[in-house]
Amino acid sequence: MALIRELAFQGAQMLVVLLLAPLLTGFVRKVKARLLRRQGPPLLQPYLDLIRLTRKDVVLANNASWLFRAIPYIVFAGTWVAVSLVPTFRSGLVFSWSADLIAIIALLGSARFFLALAGLDVGTSFGGIGSSREVMIASLAEPAMLMIVFTLALVAGSTQLSTMAAFMVSPEVGLRVSLGLALIALLMVAIAENARIPIDNPATHLELTMVHEAMVLEYSGRHLALIELSAALKLLLYISLVGCLFTPWGIAGPDASVQAIAAGAVLYLAKLAAGGFLLALFETAIAKMRVFRVPAFLGAALMLGLLATLLLFVSRSL
Amino acid sequence: MTFDALSGVLLIPALSAGLLAALPGYRLTARLNVLAAFLSFATAVSLFVVEPTSGPYLLVDDLNKVFIVLTTFVGFTTAVFSANYIGHEIEIGRLTPTYVRFYHAMYQVLMFAMNLALVANNIGLMWVAIELATLTTVLMVGIYRTHEALEAAWKYFILGSVGIALALFGTILIYMAAKPVIGEGVSAMVWTVLVMHAAKFDPALLNVAFVFLLLGYGTKVGLAPLHAWLPDAHAEGPTPISAVLSGLLLNVALYALLRFKMLLALNPAAIAPGPLMVTMGLISCVFAAFMLYKRRDIKRMFAYSSIEHMGIIVFAFGMGGPLANFAGLLHMTMHSLTKSAIFFAVGHIAQVKGTQKIADMGGLTVTHPVLGWGLVLGVVAIAGLPPLGIFMSEFLVVSSTFAREPWLVLILVFGILVGLGGMFLRLNGIVFGEPVGPSAKAEASYVPMFAHLAIVAMAGVYLPPALVTGFQNVARLLG
Amino acid sequence: MRGITFDVAHMLAGSLVLVSFMQLYQDRLYALLNIFALHALILAASVAWQAFIQDAPHLYLTAMIALVFKAIVIPVALHRIIVKLGIHREIETAVGVGPAMLLGMGLVALSMVVMLRVTAEADPLAREDLAFALSVVLLGLLMMVTRRNAVSQVIGFMSLENGLVLAATGAKGMPLVVEISVAFSVLIAFIVIGIFLFRIRERFDTVDLQALDRFRGERR
Amino acid sequence: MMVVYALYGVAALLALAPIAIVLGAAPRTQGPVLGVATSVVYGASLIVTLSLCIIALLSLFEYSQSPSLVTLPLGLPWIGAHFRIDALAAFFLVVVNLGGAAASLFALGYGRHEHSPLRVLPFYPAYLAAMNLVVMADDAFSFLVSWEFMSLTSWALVVARHQVRENLRAGYIYLLMASFGTLALLLSFGLLAGPDGHYAFDAMRASHPPAALAALVLLLVLVGAGSKAGVVPLHAWLPLAHPAAPSHVSALMSGVMTKVAVYGFVRIVFDLLGPPDWWWSMVVLGVGGITAVMGVLYALMEHDLKRLLAYHTVENIGIIFIGLGLALAFKAHGMPLAAALALTAGLFHVFNHSVFKSLLFFGAGSVLNATGTRDMEHLGGLIHRMPQTAFVFLVGCVAISALPPLNGFVSEWLTFQAILLSPQLPSWGLKFMVPAVGALLALSAALAAACFVKAFGVSFLGRARTPAAARATETDSNSLAAMYFLAALCLVAGILPGFIIDALAPVTKSLVGFSMPHQAGVEWLSIVPIAESRSSYNGLLVFVFVVLSGSIAAFAIHRLASDKLRRAPAWDCGYPDSSSATQYTASSFAQPIRRVYGTSVFHAREIGEMPPPGATAPARLKVELRDLIWIAAYAPVAAAIDYAAEKLNVLQFLTIRRYLSLVFTALVLLLLVLAIWP
């Protein structure tokens, strides 16, 4: 009985994130437009785009292989599973122990791995640019992310997201330099991972500046829809990750009352909104940097992460 | 005296030498040569069965039994090889029948001399025998009468004679040291007696004596820096002689050294012979290893490798101790077998290619697979790679002495490694790559080569207990 | 009596060393030959004296050999060779005479030091004798090393070997002395013949380098 | 008596070598006979290795508590040849023979393309036998004999294609490094055995050397076993030798032999050497971390497929050594549970790497056969020509890039878990070092993914860059079978890691006296290193999740929305170009990463030649990489030896008088020694 309830929660969570993701993207776009004094697309535009794309035929390059057609599903699945394991409004998801934070990072990693392959499959120069830059960025972003995970895991004594979140609300966290550093690093990584300004520009179609867009250049129709959706999911994932790690307040416990859960849900939406708003604000405030400045940016994130880990011992020896 | 195995190993070569000198026709003499060599080998083996009594002049104990059997065996296989080899030499007219007759006679004289040196119970007699062996080899090295051959022989002769002189002076000194204790006359030169009284000898005299003996016989062993004659003598003489030189004569000289080492070891007041030997061993090993790199003549290269291994052996004996001595004996045996096997292969290769220049041979494993792989196997063995015998001895030498003398052993290991590098650097060019030079069919007798290699291979993984106990006794003798 | 015998032996041996020194500073071949003849002569005398005092008749044979072979036959033969090869001019030395002499001094000193460590109960005669013999040997070797000329190197070798015979005869009752001296004479004969046969003109050196270069290609 | 049966198997393998020679060297053997020989040798070795594998599994599961010993009257006479299968040996036997069986199966097809089979067939089974013997040996002599025999046979296999100059050079360097390593091990055994030669391992176990000596032994072993395993900076031979051999042998060398080297390290350091010092682990960790990163960076710069794989072996060896180093650290500080975890991680990665590296080398071999080139710049589009090979190769790539749900991820995840335990270490040096090493590990993992995107993407995806690649054909069924088998293993080990962890329990128990909690009992078959609240992973569930959600998405979209599909020329922002030369090449793919890391690590320089305006010459871009390790460590040694040889060589050409003066000097010196002797 309890199991079924848990499964239901799990399913609900998965559906929620799936449904919320495009909204979040739309919200960010809207806010950006507003900050630029533009009207901007309607809030639900992403949904419409997705639907339209899925309706269209796929136009496939002549020499695209079976792998090219399989990849959108793989990427989507990987991202979706990853995000569905992040506690959003209720921690202690039934399957959360099937993958801890490291595994979630790795899942996103495999999604990226296949996306990069897709960039190379058709054999165009732009795809190549995209993939090669993507892996270069990833080669710095992933270690940085892992260092952040180290920091948090060492603080919380666990890599299990639910446990971490639970620990983060508990009083013995205290204010720590490491956590601050970790937060900054995490934000930097999140920006890079989601191909946002200043690393990459989700809206650009100026070839030489594209990274993510260049990889998926050859995709169309439902394939493109899936990839857009997984991109949105990824954004959601990172924001909720920041949410549940650094602002874990309100996340309902495993055996919480309905009200608590409702409150958690509301709070969660608020967090998403806040995150999206800040992101939009940041993006409008800053200019995109040259591709070969990116390593410096992410290297800084990596250093911050490492520093955070090392400072732990100084702040309080565990 | 009555004919026992002891006098057998001496008489058979001596008589057959005379006979071979008299008989014409190389086929016959070659066969006779093989036969004689085999007979003396058989008699030598019989030494293990019935141990003859040692007299004032001749002696048999565990130490020289090992040497005698090894010598006669390699002598026998080399005779088999040389029968085939000389035939080819006559066909291409490098040797005339007269010279061949002389060659065979000399071969047996050499055998006689070496056996005599081994069984001699009298240091004077031993000296005479070793010098006789040296002079015979001088003659055989020069047998081709080419300019280089003569020059090599001449170099060998001069350096050899100086060695002779030094060794004699050492012998005299030993006598002088022994005389006050033992009394005048022959008995003061008899091993068995000397060993008994060694403790009471005058240490200072013994020291000087050992220095001279070390240099005198060390010249024959080919220790650097006394080695100069060795590479040329190996390179310019007929290949069977190179095999015998590397495989046997060096051992015989080494045997003499060992005897005197034992003598010194028995006298507490005298200097320890170990350090001297260790030093010379290390010098020879490292020096020869480096010399391998620039070699262009295949036989000269393997001659240098002999120097290297003599260095290792002398090092082992110098370190002393049951394990190291055992290793030294084993290494010596394995080296004789392997090196002569290599020279068999090299002899055929040189005959096929019509040159000894390494640059003019290549891709042997393609054109002459048996010879080529035989050579590879030989080099693998000599480089001390398992599962062949030399690996075992090197294993024992290094592992048993590292705990005692780390730095010295590091030098030795360095030498071994460098030597291996030089060896394989050249080997690559000879056996692999595109074939170079004539690829005519080789009419070779592979039996001796592979017989030796088979023994070496077997010894690498299994030593018969009898041999082991024998070696262990000897090792204990050597202290 | 003991004293006299000892002194005579001592004197003879010492003079042998002296003559070795004389050899060292000869720079004419003929002169060198004559000095060597003298060397052999003294050796013969000392061997004979040893034969007398040890009353070992076989030593007289050794003395005989030394006298006939070394003091007469060989010098004559070498003289012939010199004439035949026309090399009776100055000996070029690898090391100058002066340094050679100094080296010689050093060697003699060395041999003394080494030998006098011998404890006294080894009978003094043998001890002194050995000291001298050793120095003769070393000087002979030094000669071989410092002279480029084949003939003088042979002479060096022979004086080295004289030292050996001196030692051997000094060793009281040592067997095989005669045989050894014979063997050595044969050896020397070989060398002399070798020089003559192979037309090794000025020096041993000539047979080396160019030959190596030309024939063996061992050298780049 | 498992060990006896195992020895029978080894004997059978050894017996195959002469059989191969006889079959092959029979007068005037042509294709068919050689074909027979090939099938016989590889078939037989397949059977034998499989049975050995079964034996090993049995002894791992049942007899692991009581090691089975046997002593043969071989080897050192007064010691004899000891052989012993304990848990550790059994595990490595499994690894060795699994790889061996796969390689033999692969070679059943691949071996037919061999140009000169006689240079491969005799040595192949001997090589397998040697590796088995190393793992079973229980005394220093038989260990080293087998160890060096392993090097020797593999050397013969490396120079099998001896007409190619580089292969000879590779073989030469390989043999030198191998002997160097063996001598180092020999010295370490010399220290362990002591001057009176207690060479049997149990004697060594009984007596522990004093601390200083033990440290020396550790360093010697690190050099000896490390040089075999390919630890930076002793790796130089590896990327030369592994690709030079025939591909199934490359697979064995990279996938299995390096593991045997790791075995040597574990056996001596964890088993024979006694209690470790805490700083040892710092050495091992440092070496491991540097090796991991350097290896993958080298691999990224490489565009020879097999050399790329070889360099990647270096990286994985680094990961393994990180695991071992952690285990040492925890063991030294008396934290057996953590030590067990770290050791398990390391050994798990040993298994994983042997599986997917063999798989990848097989794939490379098939590509080599189909196209005749190893250079990725001449490949491309193979996924169309050889789809099955492409698929299994892809699996291998995902596995080695440590991506869930395949096995590579599990071992690295365990390593991370072990790293996360490091704060409990008392010594500050380790406290600070381990996270840094963790960063290196993470970096190398990310770079590995990049590297294999490149490897797979450039050689299998895109369009064929050369006619050869365009004409490629799918490889034969035997090879495919072998590859599918390994790919399946990658998946199984990835989604059911619990079983392997449990299988490793006796090993860790025997080495660090403790083992990870029993995993089989955990619900849903997930793995829990320490405690569920702390961390857990369930490959199976992740796998099922991904498959389900993927297929749901597919189903939903195809059913509810359109499933139509049109083929058209590539879009490429409007100007698609027909020439396949315009694709991204391997080196251009690596360019961004080269910009980031290469300038410092390789002194990478890009030299652009821009012709003056009006000139018709093409513009060129040259990339210069310098292998600093080679320049710093190897070239000088070679130069020094050559110089010394040159100088000493003068001694060959002196005159007799000079030689005499050498003798004279020696004499005078010795006399002087006497004169000054007290």
As a three-state string, the secondary structure of D26-93 is CCCCCHHHHHHHHHHHHHHHHHHHHHHHHHHHHHHHCCCCCCEEEEECCCCCCCCEEEEECHHHHHHH
- How far apart CA A109 and CA A100 sit, in angstroms, is 14
Chain D residue nearest residue C111, CA to CA: D671
Residue C1 — pLDDT band, cuts 50, 70, 90? very low
**Which residues in chain B touch residue C156, judged by CB atoms under 8 angstroms apart?**
none
DSSP string, A160-195: -HHHHHHHHHSGGG---HHHHHHHHHHHHHHHHHTT
Per-residue pLDDT tens over the stretch C132-181: 899 999 999 998 888 877 778 888 888 998 998 888 888 777 777 778 88
**What are the E-state strand segments in D373-450?**
none
Looking at residue D146, its amino acid is S
D666 touches chain C (CB under 8 A): no
Q: Dihedral angle at the C-alpha atoms of B293, B294, B300, B304, nearest 10 degrees? A: -40
C-alpha distance across the termini of chain B, in Å: 34
Per-residue pLDDT tens over the stretch D88-140: 999 999 999 999 999 999 999 988 888 888 889 999 999 999 999 999 999 99
User: Chains contacting B with at least 3 CB pairs below 8 Å?
Assistant: C, D
Contact A307, A181 (CB under 8 A): yes
User: Chains contacting A with at least 3 CB pairs below 8 Å?
Assistant: D
D670 touches chain C (CB under 8 A): no
- What is the pLDDT, as a whole number, of residue B51? 75
Measure B469 CA to nearest chain D CA, in Å. 10
User: Distances in Å between the alpha carbon of B58 and those of A245, B8, D556, D608?
Assistant: 96, 12, 104, 84
Q: Tokens for B110, please give them.
A: 């050499």
**Which residues in chain C touch residue B164, judged by CB atoms under 8 angstroms apart?**
187
**Which residues does chain D have with pLDDT short of 70?**
26-33, 63-65, 678
Beta-bridged to residue D139, according to DSSP, are: D200
How big is the B-D interface in CB pairs under 8 Å?
Answer: 174
- The b-or-e profile of D54-72 (16+ CB within 10 A means b, else e) is ebbbebbeebbeebbbbee
Which runs of consecutive H residues, i.e. helices, occur in D561-655? 586-589, 591-593, 599-601, 628-629, 635-649
Per-residue pLDDT tens over the stretch B140-161: 998 888 878 888 888 898 889 8
B113: three-class secondary structure by DSSP: helix
- What is the pLDDT, as a whole number, of residue D33? 67
**How far out from the chain centre does Cα C55 lie?**
25
For range B402-415, the mean pLDDT: 92
C-alpha distance across the termini of chain C, in Å: 68
Measure B294 CA to nearest chain D CA, in Å. 7
Q: Tokens for D434, please give them.
A: 């381990």
> Radius of gyration (Cα) for chain A, nearest Å?
19
- What is the pLDDT, as a whole number, of residue D144? 94
Per-residue pLDDT tens over the stretch C87-100: 666 666 777 788 88
D671 with B215: Cβ contact below 8 A: no
C144 with D668: Cβ contact below 8 A: no
C130 with B168: Cβ contact below 8 A: no
D553 with A77: Cβ contact below 8 A: yes
C107 touches chain D (CB under 8 A): yes
C191 with B202: Cβ contact below 8 A: no
C94 with D657: Cβ contact below 8 A: yes
Best of D650, D657, D658 to disrupt the C interface (most C CBs within 10 Å) is: D657
C205 with D674: Cβ contact below 8 A: no
Measure B367 CA to nearest chain C CA, in Å. 25
- What is the pLDDT, as a whole number, of residue D427? 85
Per-residue pLDDT tens over the stretch A202-255: 777 666 677 888 888 889 989 999 999 999 999 999 999 998 888 888 887 777
Q: What is the mean pLDDT of chain D?
A: 90
D524 touches chain A (CB under 8 A): yes
- How far apart CA D486 and CA D90 sit, in angstroms, is 20
D653 with C148: Cβ contact below 8 A: no
Chain C residue nearest residue D672, CA to CA: C110
Best of A10, A54, A139 to disrupt the D interface (most D CBs within 10 Å) is: A139
**Which residues in chain B touch residue D77, judged by CB atoms under 8 angstroms apart?**
463, 465, 468
- How far apart CA C109 and CA C70 sit, in angstroms, is 27
Chain D residue nearest residue B207, CA to CA: D674
- How far apart CA B189 and CA A143 sit, in angstroms, is 82
- What is the pLDDT, as a whole number, of residue D28? 54
Contact D256, D358 (CB under 8 A): yes
- How far apart CA D58 and CA D2 sit, in angstroms, is 8
- What is the pLDDT, as a whole number, of residue C92? 67
- What is the pLDDT, as a whole number, of residue A315? 64
Looking at residue A313, its amino acid is F
DSSP string, D165-194: HHHHHHHHHHHHHHHHHHHHHHHHHHHHHT
- What is the pLDDT, as a whole number, of residue C196? 63
**Complex prediction ipTM:** 0.91
**What are the E-state strand segments in A250-315?**
none
D654 touches chain C (CB under 8 A): yes
Q: Which of C160, C187, C218 sits opposite B300 (nearest CB)?
A: C218
- Interacting residues of C189 by C-beta distance below 8 A, sequence separation 6+: none
**Within 10 Å of residue D509's Cβ, how many Cβ atoms?**
17
DSSP string, D233-269: TS-TTHHHHHHHS-HHHHHIIIIIIHHHHHHHHHIII
Which one, of D239, D300, D364, lies nearest residue D623 by Cα?
D300
Which one, of D594, D596, D589, D590, lies nearest residue D626 by Cα?
D594
- How far apart CA D314 and CA B345 sit, in angstroms, is 40
Q: Which of D428, D432, D562 sits opposite A56 (nearest CB)?
A: D562
D662 with B398: Cβ contact below 8 A: no
Which one, of D340, D342, D349, lies nearest residue D516 by Cα?
D340
Q: Which of D652, D660, D675 sits opposite C113 (nearest CB)?
A: D675
pLDDT for C207 beyond 70: no
Alpha carbons within 13 A on the beta-carbon side of D448: 35
C145 with D655: Cβ contact below 8 A: no
Q: Most distant CA pair in chain B: distance in Å?
A: 69
Residue C61 — pLDDT band, cuts 50, 70, 90? confident
How big is the B-C interface in CB pairs under 8 Å?
Answer: 111
Per-residue pLDDT tens over the stretch C107-128: 999 988 888 777 666 566 677 7
Q: Tokens for D194, please give them.
A: 């002591």
D417 touches chain A (CB under 8 A): yes
Give me the sign of the Cα torsion angle D556, D560, D564, D565.
Answer: negative
User: Chains contacting D with at least 3 CB pairs below 8 Å?
Assistant: A, B, C
Which uninterrupted H or E stretch holds B58? Answer: none
Which runs of consecutive H residues, i.e. helices, occur in D527-651? 539-560, 586-589, 591-593, 599-601, 628-629, 635-649
pLDDT for C202 beyond 60: no
Contact D423, D431 (CB under 8 A): yes
CA angle B101/B104/B109 to nearest 5° reads 125
- What is the pLDDT, as a whole number, of residue A93? 75
- How far apart CA D260 and CA D132 sit, in angstroms, is 9
Best of C130, C160, C204 to disrupt the D interface (most D CBs within 10 Å) is: C204
- What is the pLDDT, as a whole number, of residue D29? 52
D424 touches chain C (CB under 8 A): no
For range C25-48, the mean pLDDT: 88
Beta-bridged to residue D621, according to DSSP, are: D608
- How far apart CA B163 and CA B166 sit, in angstroms, is 5
User: Distances in Å between the alpha carbon of D528 and those of D222, D523, D539?
Assistant: 32, 10, 12
For range A115-121, the mean pLDDT: 93
Contact B100, B2 (CB under 8 A): no
Tokens 């695991």 correspond to D323
Best of D652, D668, D672 to disrupt the B interface (most B CBs within 10 Å) is: D652
- How far apart CA D355 and CA D360 sit, in angstroms, is 9
Contact D573, A210 (CB under 8 A): no
C209 touches chain D (CB under 8 A): yes
Q: What is the mean pLDDT of chain B?
A: 89
Residue C185 — pLDDT band, cuts 50, 70, 90? confident
Contact C155, C143 (CB under 8 A): yes
Chains C and D touch (3+ CB pairs under 8 A): yes
Per-residue pLDDT tens over the stretch B244-270: 998 899 999 999 999 999 888 888 888
- What is the pLDDT, as a whole number, of residue B394? 93
D322: three-class secondary structure by DSSP: helix
- What is the pLDDT, as a whole number, of residue C120? 60
Looking at residue A277, its amino acid is F
DSSP string, A105-148: HHHHHHHHHHHHHHHHHS--HHHHHHHHHHHHHHHHHHHHHHHH
Give me the sign of the Cα torsion angle B335, B341, B347, B349.
Answer: negative
**Which residues in chain B touch residue C161, judged by CB atoms under 8 angstroms apart?**
165
Chains C and A touch (3+ CB pairs under 8 A): no
Helix axes B322-353, B250-265, angle to 10 degrees: 170
Q: Tokens for A246, please give them.
A: 């650094």
